[in-house]
Amino acid sequence: MVLRCLVWLFIIGCVSKVLCSCGAQSEPTAPQGAASCGCEKLKRAAAAVDGAEEQTASVLTDTAGKYSRVANERASQAQGDERELHSQMVQISGGEFLMGTDNPGIPADGEGPPRLVHVDSFYMDIQEVTNRQFQSFVHATAYVTEAEKFGDSFVFEGILSETVKSQITQAVAAAPWWLPVKGANWRHPEGLDSNITDRLDHPVLHVSWADAVAYCSWTNKKLPTEAEWEYACRGGLKDRLYPWGNKLNPKGQHYANLWQGDFPNHNTGEDGYVKSSPVMSFPANGFGLYDMVGNAWEWTSDWWTVHHTTEQQDNPKGPPSGTDKVKKGGSYMCHKSYCYRYRCAARSQNSPDSSASNLGFRCVSREQR
């Protein structure tokens, strides 16, 4: 019991980090205290629960207009492929880029120092893996996720029904808006009284790192390294906060599914969604990749560390071992006041067995799949 509780606390911490990973480079710096949304504390094995009972892609200019035009062109192409079971992939031509930032939104996350990194060419899913895709994987393999084995997963309180909330006596001390919900898993994102029937094209959630690896392996793919993910996120732009530039809402438009309003009490849903959104609901970046920031956090293959060499690196893969895995991009729960991690350089962590209602993934491969 105690172990489970500790695990939950840890997961909650991780989830918080996920939620928080929403930062940047040139926009005004994140407000003090913006470092903790609680998602990094959601590890199944650590935290402390309160009251626990137990491309050759061309480099684009940084103007929103050009970004938007290219994004919309790619979006219209992608819509036609939506019926295909496996994600469409785009080739990301290899090259050098500055990974990290010298103006970290959340210094404690190890966003800096910036370092010159080269990555080889690779292919990347243009979208987060969806419930429909994960469902086909489960149908074909009878795979059981870790959240299903544990019997619970972390869910943000704000999206739970009153019935489910009334049955929960635990909370994560450092992030009380994260609740361990019995029966919550990818099929039941907010617990047993919820389902994915009307969310088959949303990102699959409540998947652990091992679950993500299993799915990618099934499609002959793998998880991206953090370097691959960040290079892809930047979409050919240099020293920019977001995949589309430095302004969060160019010309008043939303470019990602994030949180508007006061976190964690009121989400206005100004961008159209208070929870996850169907994949590809917002413009793609210069490489044709959707939802790199926002919607669902995305697992990477790297172990977590906040210490980075400043020497030039070639296809870095992170530390050889660790306790947490790196996740990137932030989620629909990210707000600048609390989780400034919806920036390409931002990062957060979760233990590999963690799962939560805002954490998903996408896959990469060396060859076209």
Q: Could you give the CA distance from residue 168 to residue 86 in angstroms, rounded to a whole number?
A: 37
In the block, residue with structure tokens 């480099």 = 59
Residue 8 or 177: the one with the smaller Cβ distance to Ca ion is 177
Whole-number Å distance between alpha carbons of 227 and 243: 15
Least distance (Å) between residue 60 CB and Ca ion: 20
Which residues are near Ca ion by CB under 5 A? 257, 271, 273, 291, 295-296, 329, 332
Quick check: 328 and 21 in contact, CB under 8 A?
Answer: yes
Buried b or exposed e, range 228-249, using 16+ CB within 10 angstroms: bbbbbbbbbbebbbbbbbbbbe
The answer to whether 21 and 237 have CB atoms below 8 angstroms apart is: no
Closest residue by Cα to residue 152 from 189, 182, 120: 182
- Pick between residue 230 and residue 271 the one whose CB is nearest to Ca ion: 271
Q: Is 170 or 277 the residue whose CB approaches Ca ion more closely?
A: 277
Q: How far is the CB of 296 from Ca ion (least distance, A)?
A: 5
Q: Which is nearer to Ca ion, 27 or 291 (CB)?
A: 291
Shortest separation between residue 4's beta carbon and Ca ion, angstroms: 29
Of 79, 201, 222, 81, which is closest to residue 134 (Cα–Cα)? 201
Q: Shortest distance, CB of residue 249 to Ca ion, whole angstroms?
A: 12
Nearer to Ca ion, 46 or 346 (CB): 346
Query: Closest separation between CB of residue 130 and Ca ion, Å?
Result: 12
